[in-house]
Amino acid sequence: MPLILTVILLGIVEGLTEFIPVSSTGHLILAAELLGYRAEDWATFNVVIQLGAILAVIVLYWRTFWSVATGLFARDAGARRFTINIAIAFLPSAVLGVLLIDNIEALLGNAMVVAVALVLGGMAILAIEAWVPSARIEPGIAAIPLKRALGIGVIQCMSMVPGVSRSGATIMGALALGIERRTAAEFSFFLAVPTMLGATSLQVARNYSGTTAGVDWGLIALGFVVSFVVARVVIRWFMAIVGRYGFAPFAWYRIVAGTLAILWLMLR
Protein backbone atom coordinates (compact mmCIF):
# COMPACT_ATOMS: atom_id res chain seq x y z
CA MET A 1 0.00 0.00 0.00
CA PRO A 2 1.37 3.50 -0.85
CA LEU A 3 2.74 5.29 2.21
CA ILE A 4 0.35 8.22 1.93
CA LEU A 5 -2.68 5.91 1.93
CA THR A 6 -1.34 4.16 5.04
CA VAL A 7 -0.99 7.53 6.76
CA ILE A 8 -4.57 8.52 5.85
CA LEU A 9 -5.93 5.16 6.97
CA LEU A 10 -4.17 5.39 10.33
CA GLY A 11 -5.44 8.95 10.77
CA ILE A 12 -8.99 7.71 10.20
CA VAL A 13 -8.50 4.84 12.66
CA GLU A 14 -7.17 7.26 15.30
CA GLY A 15 -10.00 9.74 14.83
CA LEU A 16 -12.63 7.00 14.97
CA THR A 17 -11.31 5.33 18.11
CA GLU A 18 -9.66 7.94 20.37
CA PHE A 19 -12.77 8.95 22.30
CA ILE A 20 -14.86 5.81 22.22
CA PRO A 21 -13.98 3.00 24.67
CA VAL A 22 -12.31 0.66 22.16
CA SER A 23 -8.61 1.72 22.41
CA SER A 24 -7.14 3.87 19.64
CA THR A 25 -3.60 2.67 20.40
CA GLY A 26 -4.78 -0.93 20.28
CA HIS A 27 -6.41 -0.42 16.90
CA LEU A 28 -3.29 1.25 15.51
CA ILE A 29 -1.18 -1.71 16.69
CA LEU A 30 -3.58 -4.20 15.08
CA ALA A 31 -3.59 -2.09 11.92
CA ALA A 32 0.20 -2.42 11.89
CA GLU A 33 -0.13 -6.20 11.93
CA LEU A 34 -2.72 -6.21 9.15
CA LEU A 35 -0.70 -3.84 6.96
CA GLY A 36 2.56 -5.65 7.61
CA TYR A 37 4.72 -2.97 9.21
CA ARG A 38 6.41 -2.80 12.62
CA ALA A 39 4.21 -0.93 15.12
CA GLU A 40 7.22 0.13 17.19
CA ASP A 41 8.69 1.92 14.15
CA TRP A 42 5.55 4.03 13.97
CA ALA A 43 5.21 4.68 17.72
CA THR A 44 5.99 8.40 17.45
CA PHE A 45 3.62 8.80 14.50
CA ASN A 46 0.82 7.05 16.39
CA VAL A 47 1.24 9.26 19.45
CA VAL A 48 1.59 12.57 17.59
CA ILE A 49 -1.51 12.10 15.44
CA GLN A 50 -3.51 11.61 18.64
CA LEU A 51 -3.06 15.35 19.17
CA GLY A 52 -5.27 15.88 16.12
CA ALA A 53 -8.08 14.12 17.93
CA ILE A 54 -7.33 16.14 21.07
CA LEU A 55 -7.59 19.36 19.05
CA ALA A 56 -11.11 18.28 18.08
CA VAL A 57 -12.08 18.36 21.77
CA ILE A 58 -10.64 21.84 22.17
CA VAL A 59 -12.54 23.10 19.10
CA LEU A 60 -15.86 21.48 20.04
CA TYR A 61 -15.68 22.53 23.69
CA TRP A 62 -13.96 25.87 23.23
CA ARG A 63 -16.69 27.67 25.17
CA THR A 64 -16.02 25.47 28.19
CA PHE A 65 -12.26 26.04 27.95
CA TRP A 66 -12.82 29.78 27.60
CA SER A 67 -15.26 29.86 30.52
CA VAL A 68 -12.84 27.98 32.76
CA ALA A 69 -9.90 30.19 31.74
CA THR A 70 -11.78 33.43 32.38
CA GLY A 71 -13.29 31.97 35.56
CA LEU A 72 -9.83 31.25 36.95
CA PHE A 73 -8.84 34.89 36.47
CA ALA A 74 -12.09 35.93 38.15
CA ARG A 75 -11.44 33.46 41.01
CA ASP A 76 -14.62 31.55 40.25
CA ALA A 77 -15.02 28.53 42.54
CA GLY A 78 -16.52 26.32 39.82
CA ALA A 79 -13.68 27.02 37.38
CA ARG A 80 -11.14 26.33 40.10
CA ARG A 81 -12.75 22.99 41.02
CA PHE A 82 -12.95 22.00 37.33
CA THR A 83 -9.23 22.68 36.86
CA ILE A 84 -8.19 20.98 40.10
CA ASN A 85 -10.20 17.85 39.26
CA ILE A 86 -8.57 17.54 35.83
CA ALA A 87 -5.10 18.18 37.29
CA ILE A 88 -5.53 15.62 40.09
CA ALA A 89 -6.84 12.98 37.67
CA PHE A 90 -3.90 13.62 35.34
CA LEU A 91 -1.24 13.25 38.06
CA PRO A 92 -1.14 9.42 38.43
CA SER A 93 -0.64 8.77 34.72
CA ALA A 94 1.97 11.54 34.52
CA VAL A 95 4.04 9.94 37.29
CA LEU A 96 3.64 6.33 36.11
CA GLY A 97 4.13 7.29 32.48
CA VAL A 98 7.60 8.68 33.25
CA LEU A 99 8.53 5.77 35.53
CA LEU A 100 7.26 2.99 33.25
CA ILE A 101 7.92 4.42 29.79
CA ASP A 102 10.28 1.59 28.82
CA ASN A 103 7.77 -1.07 29.87
CA ILE A 104 4.97 0.72 28.04
CA GLU A 105 6.98 0.97 24.83
CA ALA A 106 7.79 -2.75 25.04
CA LEU A 107 4.06 -3.53 24.98
CA LEU A 108 3.35 -1.32 21.95
CA GLY A 109 4.56 -4.01 19.57
CA ASN A 110 2.51 -6.85 21.10
CA ALA A 111 -0.69 -7.36 19.12
CA MET A 112 -1.80 -10.35 21.22
CA VAL A 113 -1.81 -8.20 24.36
CA VAL A 114 -4.11 -5.78 22.52
CA ALA A 115 -6.49 -8.52 21.38
CA VAL A 116 -6.83 -10.05 24.85
CA ALA A 117 -7.27 -6.60 26.44
CA LEU A 118 -10.06 -5.80 23.97
CA VAL A 119 -12.01 -8.89 25.02
CA LEU A 120 -11.46 -8.46 28.75
CA GLY A 121 -12.24 -4.75 28.54
CA GLY A 122 -15.51 -5.46 26.73
CA MET A 123 -16.53 -7.90 29.46
CA ALA A 124 -15.65 -5.32 32.11
CA ILE A 125 -17.82 -2.69 30.41
CA LEU A 126 -20.81 -5.05 30.31
CA ALA A 127 -20.31 -5.89 33.99
CA ILE A 128 -20.11 -2.25 35.02
CA GLU A 129 -23.16 -1.35 32.92
CA ALA A 130 -25.15 -4.16 34.58
CA TRP A 131 -24.08 -3.84 38.20
CA VAL A 132 -23.04 -0.27 38.92
CA PRO A 133 -25.75 1.69 40.78
CA SER A 134 -27.25 4.90 39.47
CA ALA A 135 -25.27 8.14 39.62
CA ARG A 136 -24.82 9.47 43.13
CA ILE A 137 -23.05 12.73 42.24
CA GLU A 138 -24.53 15.85 40.67
CA PRO A 139 -23.77 16.35 36.95
CA GLY A 140 -20.78 18.50 36.06
CA ILE A 141 -17.03 18.02 36.28
CA ALA A 142 -16.70 20.66 38.99
CA ALA A 143 -19.08 18.66 41.20
CA ILE A 144 -16.86 15.55 41.28
CA PRO A 145 -15.28 15.13 44.76
CA LEU A 146 -11.49 15.35 44.79
CA LYS A 147 -11.00 11.76 46.00
CA ARG A 148 -13.11 10.44 43.15
CA ALA A 149 -11.26 12.56 40.59
CA LEU A 150 -8.04 11.02 41.90
CA GLY A 151 -9.64 7.58 41.71
CA ILE A 152 -10.50 8.13 38.04
CA GLY A 153 -6.89 9.15 37.45
CA VAL A 154 -5.60 5.98 39.07
CA ILE A 155 -7.97 3.86 36.98
CA GLN A 156 -6.83 5.68 33.83
CA CYS A 157 -3.34 4.22 34.43
CA MET A 158 -4.72 0.83 33.39
CA SER A 159 -4.85 2.19 29.84
CA MET A 160 -1.05 2.11 29.69
CA VAL A 161 -1.61 -1.50 28.64
CA PRO A 162 -2.45 -1.21 24.91
CA GLY A 163 -5.95 -2.38 24.16
CA VAL A 164 -7.43 -1.32 27.50
CA SER A 165 -8.52 2.11 26.19
CA ARG A 166 -7.85 5.39 27.96
CA SER A 167 -11.38 6.66 27.38
CA GLY A 168 -12.85 3.31 28.39
CA ALA A 169 -10.88 3.18 31.64
CA THR A 170 -11.76 6.74 32.65
CA ILE A 171 -15.43 6.52 31.68
CA MET A 172 -16.03 3.15 33.31
CA GLY A 173 -14.04 4.22 36.35
CA ALA A 174 -16.16 7.33 36.66
CA LEU A 175 -19.40 5.33 36.35
CA ALA A 176 -18.20 2.88 39.00
CA LEU A 177 -17.51 5.85 41.30
CA GLY A 178 -21.06 7.17 40.97
CA ILE A 179 -20.72 9.76 38.20
CA GLU A 180 -23.48 10.03 35.60
CA ARG A 181 -22.87 9.06 31.96
CA ARG A 182 -22.55 12.43 30.24
CA THR A 183 -20.26 13.87 32.91
CA ALA A 184 -18.15 10.68 32.81
CA ALA A 185 -17.75 10.96 29.03
CA GLU A 186 -16.94 14.69 29.12
CA PHE A 187 -14.47 14.18 31.97
CA SER A 188 -12.71 11.64 29.75
CA PHE A 189 -12.60 14.17 26.87
CA PHE A 190 -11.09 16.93 29.00
CA LEU A 191 -8.67 14.63 30.81
CA ALA A 192 -7.39 13.49 27.41
CA VAL A 193 -5.95 16.96 26.74
CA PRO A 194 -3.17 17.03 29.38
CA THR A 195 -2.72 13.25 29.23
CA MET A 196 -2.06 13.11 25.50
CA LEU A 197 -0.04 16.33 25.48
CA GLY A 198 2.19 14.78 28.13
CA ALA A 199 2.43 11.43 26.32
CA THR A 200 3.28 13.11 23.03
CA SER A 201 5.91 15.37 24.57
CA LEU A 202 7.58 12.39 26.27
CA GLN A 203 7.48 10.23 23.14
CA VAL A 204 8.87 12.93 20.86
CA ALA A 205 11.57 13.91 23.36
CA ARG A 206 12.75 10.28 23.56
CA ASN A 207 12.48 9.38 19.90
CA TYR A 208 12.71 12.59 17.90
CA SER A 209 14.23 12.39 14.46
CA GLY A 210 13.40 13.88 11.10
CA THR A 211 11.50 10.78 10.08
CA THR A 212 9.59 7.90 11.63
CA ALA A 213 10.11 4.66 9.67
CA GLY A 214 10.29 6.72 6.46
CA VAL A 215 7.34 8.93 7.40
CA ASP A 216 8.48 12.55 7.40
CA TRP A 217 6.85 15.24 9.50
CA GLY A 218 4.77 16.41 6.54
CA LEU A 219 3.01 13.02 6.44
CA ILE A 220 2.69 13.05 10.23
CA ALA A 221 0.95 16.43 9.83
CA LEU A 222 -1.42 14.81 7.30
CA GLY A 223 -2.27 12.06 9.79
CA PHE A 224 -2.84 14.77 12.40
CA VAL A 225 -5.34 16.62 10.19
CA VAL A 226 -7.22 13.46 9.22
CA SER A 227 -7.55 12.37 12.86
CA PHE A 228 -8.82 15.86 13.80
CA VAL A 229 -11.54 15.90 11.14
CA VAL A 230 -12.75 12.38 11.91
CA ALA A 231 -12.64 12.81 15.70
CA ARG A 232 -14.72 15.98 15.51
CA VAL A 233 -17.54 14.00 13.90
CA VAL A 234 -17.14 10.98 16.16
CA ILE A 235 -17.38 12.93 19.44
CA ARG A 236 -20.89 14.18 18.62
CA TRP A 237 -21.93 10.75 17.37
CA PHE A 238 -20.54 9.08 20.48
CA MET A 239 -22.50 11.30 22.86
CA ALA A 240 -25.72 10.56 20.94
CA ILE A 241 -25.11 6.78 21.04
CA VAL A 242 -24.30 6.81 24.76
CA GLY A 243 -27.40 8.84 25.53
CA ARG A 244 -29.63 6.31 23.77
CA TYR A 245 -27.92 2.93 24.19
CA GLY A 246 -25.27 3.31 26.88
CA PHE A 247 -21.83 1.75 26.44
CA ALA A 248 -22.90 -1.84 25.70
CA PRO A 249 -22.56 -1.54 21.87
CA PHE A 250 -18.89 -0.66 22.30
CA ALA A 251 -18.41 -3.56 24.72
CA TRP A 252 -19.79 -6.07 22.22
CA TYR A 253 -17.66 -4.58 19.46
CA ARG A 254 -14.56 -5.01 21.63
CA ILE A 255 -15.40 -8.64 22.37
CA VAL A 256 -16.04 -9.53 18.73
CA ALA A 257 -13.03 -7.60 17.37
CA GLY A 258 -10.71 -8.93 20.06
CA THR A 259 -11.84 -12.53 19.54
CA LEU A 260 -11.34 -12.29 15.78
CA ALA A 261 -7.91 -10.73 16.33
CA ILE A 262 -6.88 -13.55 18.70
CA LEU A 263 -7.96 -16.19 16.18
CA TRP A 264 -6.19 -14.44 13.33
CA LEU A 265 -2.95 -13.97 15.30
CA MET A 266 -2.97 -17.64 16.37
CA LEU A 267 -3.71 -19.03 12.90
CA ARG A 268 -1.68 -16.81 10.59
Query: Which residue range(s) make up the domain with 123?
Result: 3-267
pLDDT bracket for residue 40 (50, 70, 90): low
Q: What digits encode the pLDDT tens for the residues 8-29?
A: 998 999 999 988 899 888 888 8
* Short-list 52, 38, 51, CA closest to 214: 38
For residue 41, pLDDT beyond 80: no
For residue 197, pLDDT beyond 90: no
What is the maximum span of the chain, computed from C-alpha positions, in angstroms? 61
Contact 200, 52 (CB under 8 A): no
For residue 137, pLDDT beyond 80: no
pLDDT at 200: 75
DSSP structure class, residue 1:
-
* Short-list 267, 214, 254, 268, CA closest to 114: 254
Residues across the chain: 268
Q: How far apart are CA 118 and CA 26, in angstroms?
A: 8
* Short-list 214, 15, 33, 206, CA closest to 109: 33
Q: How far apart are CA 90 and CA 82, in angstroms?
A: 12
Contact 250, 20 (CB under 8 A): yes
Contact 40, 108 (CB under 8 A): yes
* Short-list 158, 170, 167, 172, CA closest to 130: 172
Q: Which of 40-44, 85-89, 110-114, 120-124 has the lowest mean pLDDT?
A: 40-44
Q: In total, how many domains does the chain have?
A: 1
Beta bridge partners of 122: none
pLDDT bracket for residue 46 (50, 70, 90): confident
Q: How far apart are CA 224 and CA 227, in angstroms?
A: 5
DSSP structure class, residue 56:
H
What average pLDDT does the segment 82-91 reach? 95
In Å, how far from its chain's centre is CA 246? 18
